[in-house]
Structure 1
């Protein structure tokens, strides 16, 4: 399931912006792109992501703008020595010494840049921003998940309708087969002394009826449909469970289709496989 979340704010490191993205993936992968000020936080931040997300290709970028507030204090002793040396040089070169020449000399204005000592322990204020970005990402995934669940529900309905059509058609097959058998036998025996005994027809039709009986497959398929709807009603991660369930649905439909060689039922089998394939595609988008 895709998602996106950002958060920004002031921290002990400086101004921080956290951006999280998630793309569809069968498992969970985490990629971090951290500012130099965040080196050493990789393991902790990846663990944070994995504690919140179960599935997807997640990337997190952390940008830091460090606040540099230098304390400038003129080193007067050094400045005086620099002035003396520059004046001597200026006299030889026939030029003048300016204040900017003195101040530009290294060390005249010692600068101590404010910074944060980096450790492997992530500051709490940075973790708060990471959590805020993950919260936003998860919220966007929940919104997409609701739409995906509705799309899966539509395909479950389509699958159920096709199964109902098969259930209506299947009981008629034995009678149709009986009529075809009698017609062919009568055509074969026409003009001959021998006739086919009714018992022989009954046995032939009984064997056929047993071979094309798909009641068990339809019962199991109905159970899978009920389980699919139950999963959609759950609040936790259901993507992998749906993918396994789709495999079971397809197994029943394939068995059903191989048992019955009937044009009407074959049409419904195609419809069921189409619905199952769409459910599989959508399930890959769910956590």
Structure 2
């Protein structure tokens, strides 16, 4: 099954007075590259989220963004800096003794002292929060996987169509091959007649060697056969129920290699034109195949 490496998913959930938002974005990459951005207090959950991602994705750059809004996970506590209060009281008593003051210090006076009272935020997290967070992450990743599968269907259709187009070009090459061989045969015959006419026929098998070299140079049958084999392998690979992107990349490289060999072997104008067209279509196939997981 063909799957794209491009997708996006977002899911929102709630826990107490906290809003959990998870976004997942995926793009092309040669391997599986996971990146999770979330508050530092949740970093201990990173491995669990990565394990979850590996269940949905086998290849591509996966970016996960976790946003926590609200105060449901925060417990506010009023604290007293007793050391600072002791210092204040000590200094106040010193002032009273120095100037023989009789005023007493009230609670109201203490409340007005700077930095004596302060509020701390203590984040609370329990198993229920972890479960909801991972469930939210799973929902977002599932949306991405569905999008990648849907886009993969369109890619599979395009790859199949382009491959069939390439096959038609290879058919032309195969059908024209006999004509090219005939042309080489005529050229060889002409060269032999020149040797005989100029009394250059000798016993060192030069004619036989030249016949063999010219025949080998013009014969593209092996390359055509391998191209047909690569095309069949490509189409079969599209039907596999597993990640196939790397295998498609390899097959396309082999197609391109055979096309180059045909181009270097033949001096025929028609074959040269078809090779240019063939290489252009293979390049388009390569670009599209790079989107496959």
Tell me whether the two structures share a fold, i.e. TM-score over 0.5.
Answer: yes
Does the aligned pair in 1 maintain the 2:11–2:139 contact within 8 Å? Answer: yes
TM-score after normalising by structure 1:
0.75
1:163 counterpart residue number: 170
Does the aligned pair in 2 maintain the 1:8–1:17 contact within 8 Å? Answer: yes
**Comparing 241-250 and 254-263, the one that deviates more:** 254-263
The structure whose residues are more often strand, as a share, is: 2
1:224 counterpart residue number: 230
2:107 counterpart residue number: 82
Q: Which runs of 5+ in 2 are unaligned?
A: 79-105
TM-score after normalising by structure 2:
0.74
Does the aligned pair in 1 maintain the 2:77–2:122 contact within 8 Å? Answer: no
CA separation of 1:70 and 1:212: change in aligned 2, threshold 3 A: closer
Partners of 1:184 and 1:71 in 2: how far apart? 100
Q: What secondary structure sits across from 2:30 in the alignment? A: coil
Alignment equivalent of 1:54, drawn from 42, 55, 58: 58
1:144 counterpart residue number: 151
> Structure 1 runs of 4+ off > 6 angstroms?
69-73, 110-114, 184-190, 200-203
| RMSD of Structure 2 on Structure 1 (CA) | 3.6
Aligned length: 257
Partners of 2:52 and 2:64 in 1: how far apart? 11
Which structure is richer in relative contact order (CA contacts within 8 A, separation 6 or more)? 2
Partners of 2:54 and 2:69 in 1: how far apart? 26
Indicate yes or no: 2:12 matched with 1:8: yes
Q: What secondary structure sits across from 2:173 in the alignment? A: helix
2:98 counterpart residue number: none
Partners of 1:181 and 1:39 in 2: how far apart? 76
Partners of 1:219 and 1:183 in 2: how far apart? 30
Q: What secondary structure sits across from 1:39 in the alignment? A: helix
Q: Deviations over 1:192-229 (max 9, x none)?
A: 8x699xxx989865653343222222112111111111
Partners of 2:172 and 2:52 in 1: how far apart? 50
2:247 counterpart residue number: 241
CA separation of 1:118 and 1:206: change in aligned 2, threshold 3 A: same
CA separation of 1:122 and 1:231: change in aligned 2, threshold 3 A: farther
2:288 counterpart residue number: 282
Partners of 1:128 and 1:28 in 2: how far apart? 22
Partners of 2:135 and 2:30 in 1: how far apart? 28
In the TM superposition, 1:14-25 aligns within 5 A as 14-25=18-29
2:265 counterpart residue number: 259
1:91 counterpart residue number: none
Tell me by how many angstroms 1:147 deviates: 1.6
Q: Which runs of 5+ in 1 are unaligned?
A: 74-80, 87-100
Q: What secondary structure sits across from 2:10 in the alignment? A: strand
Indicate yes or no: 2:52 matched with 1:44: no
In the TM superposition, 1:90-239 aligns within 5 A as 115-117=123-125, 123-182=130-189, 207-239=213-245
Q: Deviations over 1:41-73 (max 9, x none)?
A: 222222322332111111100001233587999
CA separation of 1:82 and 1:262: change in aligned 2, threshold 3 A: same
CA separation of 1:205 and 1:116: change in aligned 2, threshold 3 A: same
Q: Deviations over 1:12-48 (max 9, x none)?
A: 6931000000111111211111024423222222232
Q: What secondary structure sits across from 1:286 in the alignment? A: coil
Q: Deviations over 1:177-196 (max 9, x none)?
A: 33345557778988x8x699
Q: What secondary structure sits across from 2:44 in the alignment? A: coil
**Comparing 231-240 and 125-134, the one that deviates more:** 231-240
Does the aligned pair in 1 maintain the 2:11–2:22 contact within 8 Å? Answer: yes
